[in-house]
Amino acid sequence: MSDAPLTTEALLRIAAASFESDTPRLDAELLLADATGWSRTSFRAWPERVPDTAQRARFQAQVEERRRGRPIAHILGEQGFWSLSLVVNDATLIPRPDTECLVEAALALALPAQAHVLDLGTGTGAIALALASERPSWQIMACDCVPAAVELARLNASKLGLPIDVVTSHWFAGLSGQRFDLIVSNPPYIARADTHLFQGDVRYEPETALVAGADGLDDLRHLILHGSDRLVANGWLLVEHGHDQGEAVRDLFKACAYADIATGQDYGDRDRYTLGRKPSNTTAANPNRRDPHAG
């Protein structure tokens, strides 16, 4: 870029054209809003406004980072999720808009007013905090096996003033015998050899938050198999998964005798989450245990 004074619109156009991103204009607007302190809507209202030298220098430094591929969320240090702004860093997955569809599905369930809810592998705390913001009477626990993620989720909870209980645990391993009305999780679900791991933001995210074995289902298998022991009768397990894993995940729920199994779609209308209910008569959940009512 030359040193001639450039308007916000010119700066946005030049920056956006230089990004390899699915959302180049949005990326440029988010960076310019951060560098100038001006709102994104003001760029449309006053496209001729000219940032001062310091604002422009800050913007150009951020544009350079984005050009090198660094995620916008890491450059800004925050990411919007649901109605919340979350602090993010490279210890966790960057919250995705599609995960908001799980939050909606959780809110649509008929749960007790004081429901005990667990978010497994909470990362930034996104799901747990979105639920806490909508259902103040729920008792929400969140866990992560990465200490830096636990710290980050606690930081977000305290910044937002939302009372969730964040603990360090690898899935269920570090939790007491408590049972939940709802267990929700966005676990790693990408297959180890998936080429999409070498593209875009995921290159900057921890592999532990993304990759789950050869078929991407290792962690989902674990959660579905052991989730049932951690649910109250009629409690729900709700998990995010890849757009092409709906059938495989429903099969896992069926094999573990969950009821009311259903898959829901994300904003792009792709399969994104599956849920199932632990039946009140759980004898069927263990194929080795005989059903006393069976003839």
Binding site for ligand GLN (CB under 6 A): 93, 96, 186, 188-190, 202, 210, 240
Q: Minimal distance in Å, beta carbon 188 to ligand GLN?
A: 5
Q: Minimal distance in Å, beta carbon 242 to ligand GLN?
A: 7
Q: Minimal distance in Å, beta carbon 31 to ligand GLN?
A: 21
Tell me the torsion sign for CA atoms 223, 226, 232, 235.
positive
Q: Which is nearer to ligand GLN, 15 or 220 (CB)?
A: 220
Tell me the torsion sign for CA atoms 114, 120, 122, 127.
negative
Q: What does DSSP say about strands 271-277 and 259-265: parallel, antiparallel, or unpaired?
A: antiparallel
Q: Which is nearer to ligand GLN, 36 or 99 (CB)?
A: 99
Q: Which is nearer to ligand GLN, 25 or 96 (CB)?
A: 96
Amino acid at 174: G
Assess contact for 142 and 153: CB atoms under 8 A: yes
Q: Which two tokens stand for residue 267?
A: 């904003």
Q: Minimal distance in Å, beta carbon 202 to ligand GLN?
A: 5
Q: Which is nearer to ligand GLN, 35 or 126 (CB)?
A: 126
Residue 160's Cβ-count burial label (10 Å; 0-12, 13-18, 19+) is: middle
Q: Minimal distance in Å, beta carbon 199 to ligand GLN?
A: 9
Q: Minimal distance in Å, beta carbon 2 to ligand GLN?
A: 37
Q: Which is nearer to ligand GLN, 167 or 190 (CB)?
A: 190
Helix, strand, coil tally for the chain in percent (to 5): 40, 20, 40
Q: Which is nearer to ligand GLN, 40 or 203 (CB)?
A: 203
Q: Rounded to an integer, what distance in angstroms lies between the CA atom of residue 78 and that of residue 137?
A: 27
